Amino acid sequence: MSLNQQEIRVVIADDSAVMRGVLRTLFAQCASRHAGTGIELCGVARDGVECLQQVRHERPDVLVLDLEMPRLHGLEVVTQLHREQPRLPILICSAYTVRGARCTIEALARGASDYVTKPAESLESAQAMELLAQELLPRILSLAGRHTRTTVATGRRLAAEVSTARRVDVVAIGVSTGGPSALERVLPGLPADLPVPVLIAQHMPRLFTSVLAERLNAKCKLRVCQAEDGAIVTPGSILLAPGDMHMTVRRESAEPGAVCRIHLSHDTAGLPFQPSADLLFHSVAQTYESGALGLVMTGMGSDGLEGARHIHKQGGIVLAQDQASSVVWGMPGRVVQAGLTDTPIPLNEIARVVAECVISSRQGNGSSVRSSGAQSYAADLSLEMPYGVL
Which residues are known to be catalytic? 176, 203, 303
Is residue 38 within 8 A of residue 148, CB to CB? The reply is no
Beta-strand pair 170-175/198-202: parallel
- Rounded to whole angstroms, the Cα distance separating 215 from 113 reads 18
- Rounded to whole angstroms, the Cα distance separating 94 from 91 reads 10
- How many residues in the chain? 390
Is residue 209 within 8 A of residue 242, CB to CB? The reply is yes
- Count Cβ atoms below 10 Å from residue 252 Cβ, excluding itself: 10
- Rounded to whole angstroms, the Cα distance separating 231 from 122 reads 36
Is residue 260 within 8 A of residue 249, CB to CB? The reply is yes
- SS (HEC) of 221-256: CCEEEECCCCCECCCCEEEECCCCCEEEEEECCCCC
- Rounded to whole angstroms, the Cα distance separating 274 from 102 reads 20
Q: Taking phi first (over 0 means left), then psi (-120 to 50 degrees means alpha), and beta for anything else, what does residue 38 get?
A: left
* CA distances from residue 60 to 3, 32, 68, 144, 382 in whole angstroms, order as listed: 14, 21, 21, 9, 22
